[in-house]
Amino acid sequence: MNFRNARRPGYLLAMIPLMAAGVVGCRTDKPVVASQQKPVVGLPEIEGHGLAIRFHDTSEPLERVHEVVDDLPAERLTDEDWAAHGIEIIRIREQDLGAVRSRLASSSEPGLRWHGQALTWRNLLPPSLPIGDRIMVTGGTEETYPGGIVGLSGRGWSLMTLDGPRVQVELAPLVEMPGGTHGRFAHLQREYLIGPGDNLLIIAGSGAWPHPPPEDTSAEAEEEAENKATMGELFLQIETETGQSRRLLMITPRFGGWLTEGQAPAEVGKRARAR
């Protein structure tokens, strides 16, 4: 699948009732507490339906990023395949985005992209760094893609369900090669439902949650580590004025007039569902 390749969105536009389903993936043992407060974060109020993408860049090490996220009343939705490719997806409350930003020092200005009803596939990330000579680690496999660029393709739209308004989001990590998209990663496509008050947080991983501090901190070990990275580390690594940083991607739903002004999100605490 290519960033420019739309996949017959028409049949997905109908409002369909969705039966309650369990979450696919792991779950933390921290309870998700319903909140009666209106989420307060730096995301500007946006009129309309669909999804917004926020970015937060930090130079903090991976183990620190995982420590901060693991300390939240959040739900880890990452399944075995995504974990093996170093991609972590966490359902968090929108009101907790401020805590993430405050505890992970920013290395650049925060970013915001409004996609609205994103019916066609598009790259949800600004261009990432080329893979180059680095080795991409996927589970027990080491692969090379000279000339390749890792990205995250996605689309999403709002719909009304039996449980209330939701935004359906489809995500597909991939590798863009000269002349097209590598088909090796088609099995990584996932679908999620996001309710009012919830966000999907996508961060890099190492295959272990949370990522442990490195045991060997010698110059040789650090140099070797720089030459290897998971798929998630590659597409969430960017160049900032202060050097290379880690990008945290936050997918935020918007429901337009479906939520009355000042209404507390009644569905906070409902699980995002992966299918």
As for how many domains the chain has, the answer is 1
Whether the per-residue pLDDT at 223 is higher than 70: the answer is: yes
- Asked if residue 21 is part of any domain, the answer here is no
Is residue 57 situated within a structural domain?
yes
What is the share, in percent, of the chain residues with pLDDT greater than 70?
Answer: 76
Which range (57-61, 105-109, 257-261) has the least confidence? 257-261
Is 13 inside any structural domain?
A: no
pLDDT score, position 183? 76
**pLDDT at residue 20 in the model:** 33
* 3-class secondary structure per residue, 212-271: CCCCCCCHHHHHHHHCEEEHHHHHCEEEECCEEEEEEEEEEEEEHHHCCCCCCCCCCCCC
CA distances from 238 to 6, 57, 89, 137 (A): 27, 8, 19, 18
On the question of pLDDT at 60 being above 60, the answer is: yes
Between 10 and 178, whose confidence is greater?
178
Banded model confidence at residue 217, pLDDT cuts 50, 70, 90 = confident
Does residue 47 sit within a domain? no
Tell me, what's the pLDDT at 44? 54
Give this prediction's pTM: 0.78
Q: What is the arithmetic mean of pLDDT over 232-256?
A: 88
Mean pLDDT taken over the chain:
79
The model's pLDDT over 74-127, given as tens digits with 9 standing for 90+, comes to 999 999 999 999 999 999 999 999 999 999 998 888 888 899 999 999 988 866
Q: Is residue 135 part of a domain?
A: yes
* For residue 215, pLDDT beyond 50: yes
pLDDT (0 to 100) of residue 270: 43
**Whether residue 165 has pLDDT greater than 90:** yes
State the DSSP H helix or E strand holding residue 151, giving kind and residue range, or none if neither. strand 149-161
Span 258-271, average pLDDT: 49
Please check whether residue 61 lies inside any domain of the structure. Answer: yes
Identity of the residue numbered 34: A
Instruction: Record the tokens describing residue 72, joined without a space.
Output: 């939240």
State residue 130's pLDDT score: 85
Q: Is residue 33 part of a domain?
A: no
- What pLDDT, in 10s, does the model give residues 45-54? 666 789 999 9
Which residues span the domain enclosing 221?
53-259
In this prediction, residue 117 carries a pLDDT of 94
Q: Is residue 58 part of a domain?
A: yes
Q: What is the bridge-based pairing of β-strands 228-230 and 111-116?
A: unpaired
Predicted local distance difference test score (pLDDT) of residue 224: 80
